[in-house]
Amino acid sequence: MRCRKCGQKAVINMRQHRLALCDEHYLEWLPEQTERFIKKYEMFTRYERLLLAVSGGKDSLALWDVLWRLGYNVDGLYINLGIDGSLDYSNQSQRFAQQFADERNLKLINLNVHEQYGESIPEIAQRTRRGQDKTCSICGLVKRHIFNQSARDGNYDAVITAHNLDDEAAVLLSNSLDWSLERLGRGQPLLPAGGGFVRKAKPFCRFYERESAAYTLLRGIPYIHEECPYSTGSKQLFFKQDLNRWEEHMPGTKLRFYLNYLTALDEGAFPQRQESPAELDQQRCPICGQPTITGNTCAFCRLFEK
Ligand code: Q46
Ligand code: ZN
Ligand code: ZN
């Protein structure tokens, strides 16, 4: 397989685009495409302050590297969840995130859930006696809350996550099987700011996981290879494995699934958030002041009610 641009040996073949590239041209292609998606979905500009959720894994470090090279003003936020096990997973991944930031002189904000709130994610899950998928849903709730709060406290214009196409397609499949119209109305690459929620963007949402992984490897960025121990056996992983099987037989399946969904979303197929920012502004959690749909204590604060 030869690179379409220069004829040298290709290192990656993207069957859905019928495009093979050598390392040099791949390292150009991925940032160019990222820039294209940022502009297409009007995510953010170079004049704005951005906060990226950094996990120490391949996707978030690849995205931080790309945005930094493209000249965007991005700080990182690492949330230490207190997931240890035999791998000392959280502390290890924090070290990779810190090393990346130090080498490029970038700002990384570190937050520790146990130090901040008195309990780690596994401890909260154990206290509330939830199963494995519930541990992930608690973890997701805590991360979203801290991420939004940190962005508001730090006056950031937008929060960025490194969700890739595999993540988005798996969530889409899960929400479709549940016919969760409310969630299906919130899958855009860009969610505008409103009512205390900071603007949220996903510049990598059209890249396959293997594409961001290839970027990290070719750039020689060290990252945590182990997966979080709670991801094994999760519903999300199950959907990803199924989608991979379909992709193997029908290249481009995931991309078509996601892009056709975005078209349906644009055409109003799913209900979008109805409340105006002013209405949502009235609905703040009395404990933490973050927005909540009901106007009562938010789900995050309820987690810590004993
Ligand atoms: S970190 Fe948290 Fe993930 Fe681990 S506990 Fe589940 S949600 S799997 S992205
Ligand atoms: Zn080439
Ligand atoms: Zn609250």
| Cα 28 to ligand 2 centroid, rounded to whole Å | 10
| Cα 228 to ligand 1 centroid, rounded to whole Å | 6
Domain membership flag for residue 294 = no
pLDDT at 232: 82
Domain membership flag for residue 73 = yes
DSSP 227: P
d(CA 57, CA 202): 16
Question: Containing domain of residue 179, as a range?
Answer: 42-273
DSSP 157: S
Q: What are the angstrom distances between the C-alpha of 10 and each of 3, 14, 19, 31, 146?
A: 5, 11, 10, 18, 42
Domain membership flag for residue 303 = no
In short, whether 140's Cβ falls inside 6 Å of ligand 1 is yes
- At residue 110, φ and ψ (nearest 5 deg) are -110, 130
Domain membership flag for residue 301 = no
pLDDT at 280: 59
- At residue 203, φ and ψ (nearest 5 deg) are -65, -20
Digitized pLDDT (tens) for each residue of the chain, 306 residues in all? 999 999 999 999 999 899 999 999 999 999 999 999 999 999 999 999 999 999 999 999 999 999 999 999 999 999 999 998 666 899 999 999 999 999 999 999 999 999 999 999 999 988 887 555 688 889 999 999 999 999 999 999 999 999 999 999 999 999 999 999 888 998 999 999 987 889 999 999 999 999 999 999 999 999 999 989 888 878 889 999 999 999 999 999 999 999 999 999 999 888 876 555 555 566 788 888 888 877 689 899 998 886
Lookup result for tokens 């409340």: 275
Domain membership flag for residue 286 = no
d(CA 93, CA 54): 9
Cβ–Cβ under 8 Å, residues 164 and 205: yes
The DSSP result for 35-76, as a single string, is HHHHHHTT---TTSEEEEE--SSHHHHHHHHHHHHTT-EEEE
pLDDT at 276: 57
pLDDT at 30: 98
**Residues paired with residue 108 on neighbouring β-strands, in sequence order:** 76
| Number of separate domains in the chain | 1
ipTM of the complex: 0.96
Domain membership flag for residue 290 = no
Residue nearest to atom 5 of ligand 1 (CA): 136
Instruction: Give Dmax (Cα) for the chain.
Output: 64
Which of 139, 147, 174 should be mutated for ligand 1, with most atoms under 8 A from CB?
139
pLDDT at 306: 65
Closest ligand 1 atom to 139 CA: 2
Supply the CATH number for residue 137's domain: 3.40.50.620
pLDDT at 129: 72
The response to whether 228 counts as a known ligand-binding position is no
Domain membership flag for residue 299 = no
Q: What are the angstrom distances between the C-alpha of 112 and each of 83, 116, 118, 124, 134?
A: 11, 6, 10, 14, 20
In short, whether 170's Cβ falls inside 6 Å of ligand 1 is no
d(CA 172, CA 236): 10
Which of 78, 113, 128, 136 should be mutated for ligand 1, with most atoms under 8 A from CB?
136
pLDDT at 281: 61
In short, whether 162's Cβ falls inside 6 Å of ligand 1 is no
pLDDT at 273: 63
Domain membership flag for residue 278 = no
In short, whether 230's Cβ falls inside 6 Å of ligand 1 is yes
d(CA 89, CA 93): 6
d(CA 281, CA 296): 13
